[in-house]
Amino acid sequence: MTKVLTDARSIRIKGRSFLAVVLSPDLPFDDWLARLDDLAARSAGFFLGRPVVLDVTDLPIDRAQLKELLGEFSQRNVSIMGIEGARPSILGQGMPPALKGGRPVSDDAVAKEPVIELQNSSADSKPAAIESRQPLQSIIIREPVRSGQSVIFPEGDVTVIGSVASGAEIIAGGSVHIYGTLRGRAMAGSIGNASARIFCRKMEAELLAIDGVYKMAEDMAPSLRGKPVQLWLEGDTIMAETLI
């Protein structure tokens, strides 16, 4: 590796690592795709322009089923850049290449992914280096979020100055702060950020989620109702305590 080639005309081959989102479907695919559609509907553009790797390790499927699944993805504009864990026998012509040696990354790194994506979509199309750290972004909403409205901000924190109505939802890549009553849904760390939290001045939520871990209204301790509350994740459990 350290040998330096002196001929300027030689072809240089370099290695570079990129961060990709990995999808691991389970059987039956119809149910899984329905859940995927649900996720995509709730966070529009989540898969847009994002490199996605399909993990089919241990899935008892044949070539036709895999082909059909790839077709379903392309219908949804999800571009699969590679397939992981596939037996060579089920890979065929025109399919994305097999990938090996993927390493899981910290949730933190995935959370920063959209920042990079933002850079790419900006005017200068220089490929963004993973190392360049952008300040975490946040948005502030200065009015009540009404029933039927969704605020989706995978890039960072969402702050609402006002209430979130029953039937409204906030989906943030980072933390969710509600300076009012939270009656609707709040999802923090929506693209994989276990350190995200949810804060609200008055807890009446229908549903809460942090990093994909859900909690329904009826699972919540009655003592939290109507109180100022913060929620965070410990392992796979959502923890909650009243503020002050």
Partner 1 sequence: MGKVIVVTSGKGGVGKTTSSAALGAALAHKGDRVVIVDFDVGLRNLDLVMGAERRVVYDLVNVIQGEAKLSQALIRDKRLETLFLLPASQTRDKDALTPSGVETVITELKRVFDWVICDSPAGIERGATLAMRHADIAVVVTNPEVSSVRDSDRIIGLLDAKTVKAEQGERVEKHLLLTRYDSNRAERGDMLKVDDVLEILSIPLIGIIPESMDVLRASNIGAPVTLADARSAPAMAYFDAARRLAGEVLPITIPGEKRGIFGKIFGRKAA
Q: Using CB under 8 A as the criterion, which residues of the chain lie in contact with partner 1 when the complex forms?
A: 143-144, 146-149, 162-163, 165-168, 181, 183
Instruction: Using the minimum distance from each CB to partner 1, give the nearer residue, 140 or 239.
Output: 140
Instruction: Using the minimum distance from each CB to partner 1, give the nearer residue, 73 or 153.
Output: 153
Q: Closest approach of Cβ 183 to partner 1, in Å?
A: 8
Instruction: Using the minimum distance from each CB to partner 1, give the nearer residue, 85 or 144.
Output: 144
Instruction: Using the minimum distance from each CB to partner 1, give the nearer residue, 149 or 230.
Output: 149
Q: Closest approach of Cβ 163 to partner 1, in Å?
A: 7
Cα 174 to Cα 197: distance, rounded to the nearest angstrom = 8
Instruction: Using the minimum distance from each CB to partner 1, give the nearer residue, 43 or 166.
Output: 166
Q: Closest approach of Cβ 148 to partner 1, in Å?
A: 4
Matching residue, tokens 């995978």:
154
The answer to whether 201 and 221 are in contact (CB under 8 A) is: no
Number of helices and strands (H, E) in the chain? 3, 15
Cα 69 to Cα 66: distance, rounded to the nearest angstrom = 5
Give the strand pairing for 198-203 and 207-210: unpaired
Q: Closest approach of Cβ 168 to partner 1, in Å?
A: 8
Cα 209 to Cα 193: distance, rounded to the nearest angstrom = 11
Q: Closest approach of Cβ 145 to partner 1, in Å?
A: 8
Q: What is the SS3 assignment for 67?
A: helix
